[in-house]
Amino acid sequence: MDRAQMQQRLDELIWRVEEARIKRSEHHIVKIVAVSKYATLEQIRMLYDLGQRAFGENKVQMLQERVDALEDLPIEWHFIGRLQKNKINHLIRANPFLMQSLDSLELAEAMQARLEREGMTMECLMQVNSAREESKAGVDPDAAVETYQQIKERCPNIELRGVMTIGAHVDDEAVIRKSFETTYAIFDRLRSNGADICSMGMSGDFELAIECGSNMIRVGSLLFK
């Protein structure tokens, strides 16, 4: 992919986001996180050069490698994947701008212990398993508000900013919409607790997610595949 193609893909994405957000409200601002798991380092540099600042990775090791390889650029890195407890130290070393996939109180408490030891804090989103899919990580929607509050109480080194979800993995749009609405309703209840980020929507469903209130989308294939 050359620079002109990359520019075209980014422009197209920005326009589609623009249309979707204005449908919701003129004041509704949506942040794009470019998911770089399919991208080469060269493509990341190209997209950065075109103005994109937030990038996401779903594997700790890849995140670490790319943080190191691109340390000359002030990229805002997001971690969006499943984190095994034995990889917490690696994540803390990579020190992402936002950890979006805090999927249980147990993981939060394990991270809290390491963060406290290192004298660090980390901004995180709590992942919600909005469609209650076996294959997916995340807190059950029914337990989400309570778990969020427990993390806030017990984990002072974790700065919770809101919620993240992956839309239902089905073809039926009504079912996907439901999973986004469920997550948005949880986010709305958590606003009085300081939540300000609702991360939902990927290449195939970001317009629907924005319609349902998402203010952060994570887009990979549309930019890099």
Stretch that binds ligand PLP, among 9-17, 108-116, 179-187, 199-207 (CB under 6 A): 199-207
Q: How many whole angstroms separate alpha carbon 57 and alpha carbon 82?
A: 10
Looking only at residues 7 through 66 of this chain, which bind ligand PLP when binding is defined by CB under 6 A? 35, 37, 58
- Long-range CB contact pairs, 1-7, < 8 A, 24+: 1/43, 1/224, 3/46, 3/49, 3/50, 6/43, 6/46, 6/47, 6/50, 6/223, 7/50
Q: Is 218 in the site for ligand PLP (CB under 6 A)?
A: yes
Question: Is 63 or 166 the residue whose CB approaches ligand PLP more closely?
Answer: 166
- Residue from 166, 197, 198, 212 touching ligand PLP (CB under 6 A): that is 166
Q: Is 78 in the site for ligand PLP (CB under 6 A)?
A: no
Q: Is 121 in the site for ligand PLP (CB under 6 A)?
A: no
Residue 220: CB atoms within 10 A of its CB come to 20
Question: Is 48 or 150 the residue whose CB approaches ligand PLP more closely?
Answer: 48
Stretch that binds ligand PLP, among 40-48, 91-99, 167-175, 214-222 (CB under 6 A): 214-222
> Least distance to ligand PLP from the beta carbon of 189, Å?
23
- Residue from 1, 54, 62, 202 touching ligand PLP (CB under 6 A): that is 202
> Least distance to ligand PLP from the beta carbon of 26, Å?
26
Could you tell me where the beta strands, DSSP code E, fall in the chain?
31-35, 54-57, 76-79, 98-102, 122-128, 158-165, 197-199, 216-219
> Least distance to ligand PLP from the beta carbon of 176, Å?
13
Q: Is 219 in the site for ligand PLP (CB under 6 A)?
A: yes
Question: Is 195 or 219 the residue whose CB approaches ligand PLP more closely?
Answer: 219
Question: Is 117 or 169 the residue whose CB approaches ligand PLP more closely?
Answer: 169
Question: Is 153 or 172 the residue whose CB approaches ligand PLP more closely?
Answer: 172
Residue of minimal Cβ distance to ligand PLP:
220
Q: How many whole angstroms separate alpha carbon 46 and alpha carbon 65?
A: 18
- The answer to whether 198 touches 148, Cβ cutoff 8 Å, is no
Q: How many whole angstroms separate alpha carbon 131 and alpha carbon 134?
A: 9
- The answer to whether 102 touches 80, Cβ cutoff 8 Å, is no
* Amino acid at the residue 93: R
Tokens of 127: 């992942």
Tokens of 103: 């999927």
Chain residues in the site for ligand PLP (CB under 6 A): 35, 37, 58, 80-81, 166, 202-204, 218-222
